[in-house]
Amino acid sequence: MSPGFQGRPRSAEPALPPGQYLTEDFPVLSAGPTPKVPLETWEFVITTENGDERRWSWAELMALPQETAEVDLHCVTRWSKLHTSWQGISLDTLLDGLDTDAHFALAHSYGGYTTNLPLDDLRGGRAWVAHTYDGAPLHPEHGGPARLLVPHLYLWKSAKWVRGIKLRTMDQPGFWETAGYHDYGDPWREQRYQGD
Ligand SMILES: Nc1nc2c(c(=O)[nH]1)N[C@H]1C(S)=C(S)[C@@H](COP(=O)(O)O)O[C@H]1N2
Ligand SMILES: [Mo]
């Protein structure tokens, strides 16, 4: 058997989680209208389980170290988009030195959307507050001015128009999790719905 005998060599096939298909465009999935968030009043707040707050204005956030991330996106509605390019601030930077015993995080957005995830999943270079997509300011439909980007979980965990993160000792389900979607949402284990 020579490599490439059947055309495209296997190693060049994109790695997709089970049940996903590849898309080249960037679908918009929003549960409600796109909120208008002026940068002058925009802020991002991390609240610990004790009620302590860390708060950043837009200018303060942009003054933090910026990272570039090239990541694959996996939506629970079965589309995946590979090699997307983002810029933003690592959650490692935002959580650095924070005094907390919490194990859970509840992200909340302008407009009211929420989603929960283990605090550990926001650490380790795996999560960003992203404001730039493909070299341009993130389009409002996709979550601009800034969205959470947690690409190792299904995309509903990447809260658009993110406004803050509440650290919690108890796990509290968010919008889709309350509606029956999986608490964790690992695309590689196909954790779409509760019980998966
Ligand atoms: N604030 C907010 N964030 C959200 C959503 C939403 O409705 N509101 N939808 C989620 C879902 S289900 C998906 S698949 C992705 C879609 O992101 P996109 O519209 O940029 O493709 O955003 C997630 N983040
Ligand atoms: Mo979704």
Report d(CA 149, CA 159) in Å as an integer: 7
Q: Give this prediction's pTM.
A: 0.94
CA distance 116 to 106: 4
Domains present along the chain, CATH in parentheses? 40-189 (3.90.420.10)
CB 83 within 8 A of CB 14: no
142 phi, psi to nearest 5 deg:
-95, 10
Spacing, Cα 77 to ligand 2 middle (Å) = 6
In tens, the pLDDT along 83-120 reads 999 999 999 999 999 999 999 999 999 999 999 999 99
Q: Is 35 exposed, middle or buried (0-12, 13-18, 19+ CB in 10 A)?
A: middle
- Choose among 116, 88, 124, 105: nearest CA to 47: 105
Report the atom number in ligand 1 closest to the C-alpha of 29: 19
Q: What digits encode the pLDDT tens for the residues 149-187?
A: 999 999 999 999 999 999 999 999 999 999 999 999 999
Residue located nearest, by CA, to atom 16 of ligand 1 = 29
